[in-house]
Amino acid sequence: MEPLFELGIGQVMLRPYDARNDAHSIARIVGQIWHGGGDALMEGRFGLIADKPWGHWQSQSILNYLAAPDCRAFVAVESNEMVGFCSYVLDIQRRLGTVGYNGVSPEHQGRRIGSAMISFVMDQFHKAGMEYAAVLVATNPQHAPARRVYENHGFEPLMGLDYRVRKL
Residues engaged in binding ligand COA (CB under 6 A): 33-34, 101-104, 109-115, 137, 143-146, 148-149, 152
**In the bound complex, what is the minimum distance in angstroms from residue 110's beta carbon to ligand COA?**
5
Nearer to ligand COA (CB atom), residue 90 or residue 100: 100
**In the bound complex, what is the minimum distance in angstroms from residue 72's beta carbon to ligand COA?**
15
Pairing verdict, β 71-78 and 96-99 = unpaired
Q: CB nearest ligand COA: which residue?
A: 114
**In the bound complex, what is the minimum distance in angstroms from residue 37's beta carbon to ligand COA?**
8
Nearer to ligand COA (CB atom), residue 95 or residue 109: 109
Nearer to ligand COA (CB atom), residue 161 or residue 168: 161
Nearer to ligand COA (CB atom), residue 110 or residue 157: 110
Task: Using alpha carbons, select from 117, 145, 136 the residue that is nearest to residue 17.
Answer: 117
13, 78 Cβ separation under 8 angstroms: yes
**In the bound complex, what is the minimum distance in angstroms from residue 35's beta carbon to ligand COA?**
8
Nearer to ligand COA (CB atom), residue 131 or residue 151: 151
Collect contacts of 13-17 with beta carbons under 8 A, ≥24 apart.
Answer: 13/76, 13/77, 13/78, 14/74, 14/75, 14/76, 14/77, 14/86, 14/117, 14/120, 15/74, 15/75, 15/77, 16/72, 16/73, 16/74, 16/75, 17/66, 17/73, 17/74, 17/75, 17/85, 17/87
| Per-residue DSSP letter, 141 | G
**In the bound complex, what is the minimum distance in angstroms from residue 168's beta carbon to ligand COA?**
28
